[in-house]
Amino acid sequence: MRLFDSLFAGLRALRANILRSILTTLGIIIGVAAVIIMISVGSGAEARMEDLIASLGSNLIMVAPGSGTAGGVRLGAGTKASITEGDAEAIQREIPTVEVAAPSLRGPGQVVFGNLNWATLVHGVTPEYMAAREWEIEHGRSFRPEEINGAAKVVLVGMTLVENLFPDQDPVGEIIRIKRVPFRIIGILKEKGETPMGRDQDDTVFIPLSTARKRVLGARYLGGKKVGAIFVKSYTAELVPQTVESVKKLLRQRHRLRENQEDDFFVRNFSQILETRAKSSRAMSLLLAAVAGISLLVGGIGIMNIMLVSVTERTREIGLRMAVGARGRDILAQFLIESVILSLIGGLIGVVLGLLGSVGIASLGEGWPTVVRVESVILAFSFSAAVGVFFGFYPARKAARLDPIEALRYE
């Protein structure tokens, strides 16, 4: 019996019990679809984490002021004005692994344009801040050196503020008031999206650091050029741990801290935090894919059971085929082909349902990210075919080893 004869014989046998064949493939269909959907959801979560890392700025660490005390009570990080512009200049000048160090101030402010107003965060920054955060200008221009040095009243606005105060017009060149101080808009910041903590990064305005200190954010930062944070960008991700240690050592020297004194500043490695979350998301994706893979194995067991039933039901047919010249390997090929066909049909249907399910989750899940990878589709489909071969081999081998005479006598 040739291979094509075995193939057609297998297809005829499956068509003769089409409802049973469909029910048998359900395990494979569900398993393949589940694998594709779970991997797509997990890959989407990983991609989301990568986007968050990119939105914060690559190779980025932040130096924040230390904890202040009042009446013996520690007030928490950021309550003690302990870092300065000079610290930022020293970090950039003396640490070779640092590409840029950007001092900044931050505080709440009410922005007014015409009869509209919007509460937002006001950032006092330098041009180095834009490089550290990898923040581009969508429209207009950035600050000029003379505007930074001269405390000019110019402002860059985020997309959220544009949508709320300038829904139908170009804001560049317009005058807005921030805490009653007039500012001219010179540029619109490119959209960044949310932070890992859920804060809208585009709900912000940038003004020159000197302007923020003198005109907007008050007397807290006037003395000694105090700043609210320093954003430090390392040249590469591999150099970030070394940069963190170098920054700590330098600041302890500049702040004249003794060995038994705690740091009066905090250093946070954003990339490390997000990468840890990404690893957790990746581990969860693998776990979900493993659970989905179990359903594929269950589907394979279902195929083996049905094929064993089929061998029992068709014992006399097998004996007749052997009596007219079919060899054991022909019978083996016929039943193995039937098993593989069931798996492949289930795999194809599962791939289609998995793709549709991934698209459905992305569209109905309110922005839940899914990324369908070609490798996951190939993996799931290949695994379904392997399941058909593995679980179909035993029933096919049992059929091939039947004694023709005993098979013909079977009732």
* Domain finish residue from 215, 230, 263: 263
* pTM tops 0.85: no
Residue 69 in domain? no
Instruction: Kindly state whether residues 89 and 115 are assigned to the same domain.
Output: yes
pLDDT at 201 over 60: yes
Residue 37: CB atoms within 10 A of its CB come to 26
- 176, 301: one domain: no
Looking at the structure, tell me whether residues 35 and 107 fall in a common domain: no
- Asked whether residue 268 is assigned to any structural domain, the reply reads no
Confidence band of 379 (pLDDT split at 50, 70, 90): confident
Q: Residue 385: what are its φ and ψ, rounded to 5°?
A: -65, -40
Query: In this structure, are 282 and 319 located in the same domain?
Result: yes
The stretch 321-332 carries a mean pLDDT of 71
Together in a domain, 314 and 177: no
Tens digits of residue pLDDT in 142-187: 898 888 888 899 999 999 999 999 988 889 999 999 988 999 999 9
Structure confidence at residue 94 as a pLDDT band (50, 70, 90):
very high
Q: Based on the number of CB atoms within 10 Å of its own CB, is 70 exposed (0-12), middle (13-18) or buried (19 or more)?
A: exposed
- pLDDT, average across residues 244-254: 90
pLDDT in tens, 6-39: 566 556 666 666 777 777 778 788 888 888 887 7
- Domain match, 244 and 311 both: no
Structure tokens at 327: 């060899």
Alpha-helix runs per DSSP H in 57-126: 85-94
Total domains present in the chain = 2
229-234 and 98-113 as β-strands: parallel, antiparallel, unpaired?
antiparallel
Asked whether residue 259 falls in the same domain as residue 280, the answer is no
Residue from 354, 330, 271 nearest 56 by CA: 271
- Same domain, yes or no, for 138 and 199? yes
Structure tokens at 287: 């776990």
> What is the residue range of 135's domain?
81-263
Each residue of 94-127: b (16+ CB within 10 Å) or e?
ebebbbbbbbbbbbebebbbeeeebebbbbbbbb
pLDDT at 71 over 80: no
329-357 tens-digit pLDDT: 777 777 777 778 888 888 888 888 888 88
Q: Among 130, 118, 115, which residue's Cα sits nearest to residue 200?
A: 118
Do both 346 and 225 map to the same domain? no
Domain end among 263, 296, 330: 263
> Across the strands, what pairs with 64?
266
